[in-house]
Amino acid sequence: MESKSSSDSSESSSDSDGETVKNDDSQKQTTNMLHLNLHQCARERDVTKLRQLLKAAPHSKEKLNEHDREGLSPLHYAARYDRFASVVVLVKAGADVNDKDDDGATPLHCAARYRHKEGHPKDYEQTVISYLVANGAKINAKDKDGTTPLHFAVSRGSKEACEELVNFERINIEAKDHQKMRALHLAATHKNEEIVEILLSKGAKVRCFDNNRRTPLYYACKEDAVGVAERLIKQAEKQGKKDMVSKASTIFITT
């Protein structure tokens, strides 16, 4: 009888251990599935499913901010694809608005670079950019190259993102990347007259130098961006920078 009892106990223990392992494996599988789906839902417009996933298995902040193979978090994707509703859901769930991807870029960098021209549905009073900033995103955050969200917006030629960013009180319009290039350098290089005008209207310095001691006006002349050069020269004259105008004339003649 004792032998049988011992055997039954052993089998019961074995079944219990097996069930525990099975449950652990199932839980891990579910957790991994949810993690992958969070990124997918953030990219797509499936806000309902995103809410369901977060409710079904409340994620720790570490899991919620985990990066995929591309080095991006769910919030990076939501910001990149301009998914305002998804951004709100993720931030309220605890997503880190200042999380950096493998290149040091934050969700705000993504929002600035990929800001959509069509804007947002009328029922949204904010944009992804304004929502992130309102919830603690560092507006002058720098990636590994020293570029800020404003640098990203200018390089991408996003007038809408630039207009929005320069109107924030804490924006550093003179922020320099690792080559000491400012937003105005980039706007001139990309021959974007509208963005040059936006930056100048907010007081961007015309006389500023990068690592090679080159000014925005130099790059405008180099790229044969006549309209941009004219705007910069006009602004330089207003600021009493006559030496810049004479140097620009020399560049026009010799190139």
Average pLDDT of the residues in 57-65: 71
Among 54-58, 122-126, 232-236, name the one with the lowest average pLDDT: 122-126
Which pLDDT band holds residue 51 (cuts at 50, 70, 90)?
A: confident
Average pLDDT over the chain, rounded to whole? 83
Q: What is the identity of the amino acid at 156?
A: R
Nearest alpha-carbon partner for 187 in 211, 213, 161: 161
Nearest alpha-carbon partner for 183 in 213, 205, 211: 205
Which pLDDT does position 52 carry in this prediction? 84
Which pLDDT band holds residue 249 (cuts at 50, 70, 90)?
A: very low
Asked if 2-172 and 180-255 have one fold, the answer is yes
179: CB partners within 8 A, 6+ apart: 146, 210, 211
For the segment(s) 180-255, the CATH number from 2.40.420.20, 1.25.40.20, 3.40.190.10, 3.40.50.2300 is 1.25.40.20
What is 2-172's CATH topology?
Answer: 1.25.40
Q: Are 41 and 86 in contact (CB under 8 A)?
A: yes
Q: Are 148 and 140 in contact (CB under 8 A)?
A: yes
46 or 108, higher pLDDT: 108
Kindly report, residue by residue over 106-129, the tens digit of the pLDDT. 999 999 998 765 445 555 678 999
Among 28-37, 43-52, 72-81, 124-133, name the one with the lowest average pLDDT: 28-37
**Extents of the domains making up the chain:** 2-172, 180-255
Structure-token pair, residue 173 = 């319009």
Distances (CA, A) of 157 to 116, 187, 218, 234: 11, 8, 19, 22
Q: Are 100 and 143 in contact (CB under 8 A)?
A: yes
Among 118-122, 164-168, 186-190, 205-209, name the one with the lowest average pLDDT: 118-122
Question: How many Cα atoms within 13 Å fall on the side-chain side of residue 180?
Answer: 8
In eight-state DSSP terms, residue 206 is: S
In eight-state DSSP terms, residue 137 is: -
The highest-confidence range among 47-56, 72-81, 118-127, by mean pLDDT, is 72-81
155: CB partners within 8 A, 6+ apart: 113, 147, 186, 190
Nearest alpha-carbon partner for 232 in 190, 188, 202, 194: 188
What CA–CA distance (Å, rounded) separates 83 from 59? 20
Which pLDDT does position 119 carry in this prediction? 47
58 or 218, higher pLDDT: 218
Structure-token pair, residue 247 = 């140097």
Kindly report, residue by residue over 125-179, the tens digit of the pLDDT. 789 999 999 999 999 999 999 999 999 999 999 999 999 999 999 999 999 999 9
Task: Specify the length of the chain in residues.
Answer: 255
